[in-house]
């Protein structure tokens, strides 16, 4: 049963996670610490860590200290990928804060990302569980492949949908899937539950990314800490745009804009295109797709027979689809 | 004893390593594969892999397939760090080939480096040995810290030497140390041998980096595939320069040049400063220091009592200090 060193519950596990991550970024090399600390304190939702902990609790045992390292590893891989992602996209802000390459320097962003990856590897080593490494390594490979895969056409609809799903599956859902798997592994769950938690996490990650892409068009700019239409401005084809083209582009305004992605957007045209997507059925249809992934995620929870064990995971899933920022 | 799947010796292990690494870079995302393949085929010496294999053979057993994954992981971490290192230093060439950011694009260099790190993590998972992860994770953290630590003064001599040793210890020796350790671990060696192989690798890595820094001043430009004086041009303080200032700078030519590091170098002044270092006792004194690390490395081999087991490791050490490119 629970060893002397087990944690009592999710609040304690979350507090240990924060303490561990803050301790990590006190590198002997101060210049690295400042950007890393900036990043880790920028108020992430720790949704992936919560998924690890909740999946770990399925076995009915208290959360073990090794689970905190596993959750930290997932959050560190996520943070590392954000730093390099923002650098490549040249995004000036993330959660209302300046990004690393903006606040410090381009080289700092390369190095801070690498440093966070390396710290993730160290955290995984501390779990002492090679299956945690397996799951996170697969996700890390997928994230790189997702970062580089492109959605380069809005039609035919089925082709556009397929490349969009492939990209977000790799870029986002893979790490949510890993979080579900490794939580179940750390909790000592049976292989069937490990697989179900991986599938739950993956479907949830799909829903998460679609909601993210919808909010990029119709979210509250103050809550999000960034102006609407960032993806459109950067020429990224996401689900709301794909559905808007399919259903509300009889005059070809959107198709013409997409054909010129890569060239700078004249301000008036940008406003017209953004408004067209916002007022189209695109955001609603995308949100409905997110809900289908949410329902798919809930189905994978059926492997958990006790309702009181299922409900915290259902709660995480609800937070993902109901979030407004 | 040796299972059916064991490898017969170092040649077969090396061939399997190359096959594994070439297979790795056939990513489904073609655009990532091309730069990754360019990098991995650019003819590295595979010195770190050889160290893993030779340390693994100490136990007297055939090299196991898991050892190939461990060696691949070390080479992949090394390759990943080179890509980001070249990007940050803006080096146009590496081993006579254009660097990734030169041949493709800045973003490609960020992503290819990340991808190689992720592939390294997957290779480590395939070893099934958490101690391999421990060793490589420590080295990966150290490499980041080494990349960012600076040698920002040439005197007082002791201070300059200390910051130089600290930097190369993290940047280079840490991964050689990990290679020695994990080879011994994969070979099933006792903890005393694992520690000795780690210390052997670390000392050898110090010698390797010093020889590298000497060759940057006095190596054959054709063999190296790059012009002499690259470190000087980029304003990097390395051991030959530190010793040159301490012994052959009575007119202050070198000190004045170092004080202006960061500003562009007028071509005539650059030639004069380069020649001064080349003709000073700096390169010779640095090489003597490399030899002291070489001898220190050999001492750690005393834990290996059989001369025929020791000699391949002695041979690797000789290659490190005798290399001319």
Give the per-residue pLDDT at A4.
Answer: 46
Cβ pair A144:B115 closer than 8 A: yes
Angle, to 10 degrees, between the axis of helix B174-186 and the axis of helix B130-148? 170
A window 58-97, beta carbon within 8 A of B: 81, 84, 87-88
User: Mapping DSSP to helix (H, G, I), strand (E, B) and coil, where does residue A230 land?
Assistant: helix
DSSP one-letter string for A90-142:
T-SEETTEE-HHHHS-HHHHHHHHHHHHHHHHHHHHHHT-HHHHHHHHHHHHH
Partners of A138 on chain B (C-beta within 8 Å) are 122
Q: Over 50: is that where the pLDDT of B49 sits?
A: yes
pTM of this prediction?
0.91
Q: How far apart are CA B206 and CA B164, in angstroms?
A: 10
Cβ pair B122:A145 closer than 8 A: no
pLDDT tens, position by position, B55-85: 999 978 899 999 999 999 999 999 999 888 8
Say if residues B117 and B130 touch (Cβ distance below 8 Å).
no
Q: Over 60: is that where the pLDDT of B222 sits?
A: yes
User: Which of A122, A137, A143 lies at the smallest CB-CB distance from B137?
Assistant: A122
B110–A contact, CB cutoff 8 A: yes
CA distances to B7, B21, B44, B289 from B15, rounded to whole Å, are 10, 10, 14, 34
CA distances to A75, A80, A202, A293 from A117, rounded to whole Å, are 10, 6, 21, 29
Its ipTM equals 0.90
Return the DSSP state at B236: -
Give the per-residue pLDDT at A237.
Answer: 97
Give the per-residue pLDDT at B28.
Answer: 60
CA distances to A73, A269, B90, B161, B291 from B154, rounded to whole Å, are 39, 57, 23, 8, 22
Q: Is B298 buried (19+), middle (13-18) or exposed (0-12) by CB count in 10 A?
A: middle
Compute the 3-state secondary structure of chain B and give helix, strand, coil in percent, each to the nearest 5. Answer: 75, 0, 25
Q: How confident is the model at residue A198 (pLDDT cuts 50, 70, 90)?
A: very high
Q: Is B59 buried (19+), middle (13-18) or exposed (0-12) by CB count in 10 A?
A: middle
B32–A contact, CB cutoff 8 A: yes
CA B18 from centre of chain: 18
Question: Biggest alpha carbon distance in chain A?
Answer: 68
Average pLDDT for chain B: 89
Return the DSSP state at B169: I
Say if residues A138 and A178 touch (Cβ distance below 8 Å).
yes
Give the per-residue pLDDT at B4.
Answer: 46
Q: How confident is the model at residue A13 (pLDDT cuts 50, 70, 90)?
A: very high
B23–A contact, CB cutoff 8 A: no
Angle, to 10 degrees, between the axis of helix A157-168 and the axis of helix A191-218? 120
Q: How confident is the model at residue B96 (pLDDT cuts 50, 70, 90)?
A: low
Q: Position of tokens 């397996």?
A: A134
Question: Biggest alpha carbon distance in chain B?
Answer: 68
Q: How far apart are CA A290 and CA A287, in angstroms?
A: 5
* CA angle at B61 for the pair B55 and B62, rounded to the nearest 5°: 90
Q: How far apart are CA A243 and CA A284, in angstroms?
A: 9
* Closest chain A residue to the Cα of B131, Cα to Cα: A125
Query: Rg (Cα) of chain A, in Å, rounded?
Result: 20
Q: Over 90: is that where the pLDDT of A102 sits?
A: no
Lowest mean pLDDT among A279-283, B80-84, B220-224: B220-224
Partners of A136 on chain B (C-beta within 8 Å) are 121
Q: Position of tokens 């834990």?
A: B303
Cα dihedral angle (B233, B236, B241, B245), rounded to 10 degrees?
A: 100
Q: How far apart are CA A197 and CA A179, in angstroms?
A: 8
pLDDT tens, position by position, A288-322: 999 999 999 999 999 999 898 899 999 999 999 99
Measured between CA atoms, how close is B228 to chain A, in angstroms? 25
Partners of B140 on chain A (C-beta within 8 Å) are 114, 117-118, 121-122
User: Which of B118, B140, B148 lies at the smallest CB-CB distance from A140?
Assistant: B118
Could you give all domains of chain A from N- to C-terminal order, each with its CATH number? 10-322 (1.10.600.10)
Say if residues A12 and A4 touch (Cβ distance below 8 Å).
no
């Amino acid at each position: 049963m629970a060893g002397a060193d087990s944690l009592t519950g999710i609040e304690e596990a979350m507090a240990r996670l924060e303490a561990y991550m803050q301790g990590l970024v006190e590198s002997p090399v101060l210049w690295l610490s400042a950007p890393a600390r900036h990043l880790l304190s920028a108020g992430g939702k720790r949704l992936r860590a919560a998924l690890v902990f909740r999946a770990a609790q399925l076995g009915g045992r208290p959360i073990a200290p090794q689970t905190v390292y596993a959750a930290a590893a997932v959050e560190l891989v996520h943070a590392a990928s954000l730093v390099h992602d923002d650098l490549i996209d040249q995004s000036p802000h993330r959660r209302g804060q300046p990004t690393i390459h903006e606040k410090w320097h381009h080289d700092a962003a390369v190095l801070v990302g690498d440093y966070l990856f390396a710290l993730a590897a160290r955290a995984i080593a501390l779990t002492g569980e090679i299956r945690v490494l397996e799951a996170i390594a697969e996700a890390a490979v997928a994230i790189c492949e997702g970062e580089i895969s492109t959605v380069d056409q809005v039609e035919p609809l089925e082709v556009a949908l397929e490349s969009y799903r492939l990209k977000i599956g790799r870029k986002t859902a893979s790490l949510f899937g890993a979080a579900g798997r490794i939580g179940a592994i750390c909790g000592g769950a049976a292989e069937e539950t490990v697989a179900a938690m991986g599938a739950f996490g993956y479907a949830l990650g799909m829903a998460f990314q679609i909601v993210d892409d919808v909010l990029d068009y119709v979210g509250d700019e103050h809550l999000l800490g960034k102006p609407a239409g960032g993806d459109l401005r950067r020429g990224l084809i996401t689900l709301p745009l794909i559905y808007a083209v399919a259903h509300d582009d009889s005059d070809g305004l959107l198709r013409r804009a997409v054909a010129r992605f890569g060239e700078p957007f004249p301000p008036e045209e940008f406003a017209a295109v953004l408004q067209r997507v916002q007022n189209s059925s695109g955001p609603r249809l995308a949100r409905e797709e997110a809900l289908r992934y949410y329902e798919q995620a809930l189905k994978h929870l059926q492997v958990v027979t006790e309702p009181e064990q299922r409900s915290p995971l259902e709660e995480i899933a609800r937070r993902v689809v109901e979030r407004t920022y």
